Amino acid sequence: MNWKAFFALLGRDAHVARRNMVQLMLQTFLQPLLFVFIFGRVMVGSGYLPMAYKSLLLPGIMAMSMVFTGIWAVAMPLISEFQFTREIEDRLLAPIDIAWVAIEKVVAGLIQALVAGLMVIPLAWLILRPGLELHIADPLLFVAITLLVAGFSACGGLALGCSVDQQHIGLMFSMVMTPMIFFGCTYYPWSALSKFPILAKVVLINPLVYASEGLRATLVPQFPHLWLPAILGALVFFDLLLLFLGLRQFRNKAVN
């Protein structure tokens, strides 16, 4: 394994991310913070939603930001680098197995998703306090779930980025991302679906459900959430599945 080349590839992505810092920050944080402000502050402050909703909302927003960021950070560059600019070719010719070029993208996306997730907590806290009650009882569990969520978002970005054509980016967002977020238990806990038994079962194919519920289980355990081993199992499963699919798609795309 050529770690020198791997870290050089990662260095290139870090360099580009530093250069586009302002754009990246706006892209990552504007939408979640607006959500937090409207639902957590305006709706709760005006009495339409109970105070406890603040704490319930935060893990969902964190999950959404991480998943959005991870997918975006990996899929968007891949789509244009494979199609429009072909600039990925220089990296495919680097003296490293091409699977590692894809894994480097996943690691870069995972780091960005982690940064997004960890920064949403203090930013949302600034907007939401007082009344926000977070209890990280088990730091290790928090780290494990956060890593798994970042991992599946970056792997999902790889799978999507290598499957979607440039002209279908808009479609990808309206057909994949939007339903994923609304059926992802981001704004409500999974237990809220108990009155909709069919929907409650169908949403279980959505990996974002396990991200939201997992973060809820570690940040606000006072609320009902899915059974923890099931959450961990599902997150590991989706991480591996999307990584496998992503790498396969990447190879197909990279070699004619």
Partner 1 sequence: MSPPPAAAGRTGPFSGGGRQKGKDPKAQITALDGIDIEIAPGQIFGLLGPNGAGKSTTVGILTTRVRPTSGTAWISGHDVWREQIAAKRLIGVVAQRPNLDFSLTAREILTFHGAYFGLNAHDRNERANALLERFKLTDRADQLVRGFSGGMMQRMSIARAMMHNPQVLFLDEPSVGLDPQTRLLLWEIIREYNREGRTILLTTHNMEEADALCQELAIIDHGRIIARGTPRELKASIPGGYLLRLRFGSHSAELMGRLGALVGVTEVRADGNSGADVYASRGGALIPEIVSAAAGVGVELSDVHISEPSLENLFLHHTGRSLRE
Site residues (CB under 8 A) for partner 1? 2, 4-5, 8-9, 11-12, 15-16, 19-20, 85-98, 255-256
CA distance 214 to 210: 6
138-to-143, 217, 219, 221, 225 alpha-carbon distances in Å:
9, 10, 9, 10, 16
Least Å distance, CB 78 to partner 1, is 13
Least Å distance, CB 150 to partner 1, is 22
Cβ partners under 8 Å of residue 212, min gap 6: 59, 60, 63, 64, 184, 185, 186, 190
CA distance 227 to 217: 9
7 vs 196 by CB, closer to partner 1: 7
1 vs 198 by CB, closer to partner 1: 1
Reference 55, options 117, 121, 139; nearest CA is 121
Least Å distance, CB 251 to partner 1, is 10
Question: Looking at the chain, how many residues does it have?
Answer: 256
Least Å distance, CB 129 to partner 1, is 38
104 vs 239 by CB, closer to partner 1: 104
Least Å distance, CB 13 to partner 1, is 9
17 vs 43 by CB, closer to partner 1: 17
- Amino acid at the residue 141: L
Cβ partners under 8 Å of residue 162, min gap 6: 78, 82, 246, 249, 250, 252, 253
**Would you say 253 and 82 are in contact if contact means Cβ atoms under 8 Å apart?**
yes
5 vs 169 by CB, closer to partner 1: 5
CA distance 89 to 93: 6
Least Å distance, CB 17 to partner 1, is 10
**Which ranges of 188-227 would DSSP assign to H, the alpha helix?**
197-202, 207-219
9 vs 64 by CB, closer to partner 1: 9
Least Å distance, CB 125 to partner 1, is 33
2 vs 222 by CB, closer to partner 1: 2
Mutual angle of helices 139-161 and 53-82, in 10-degree steps: 30
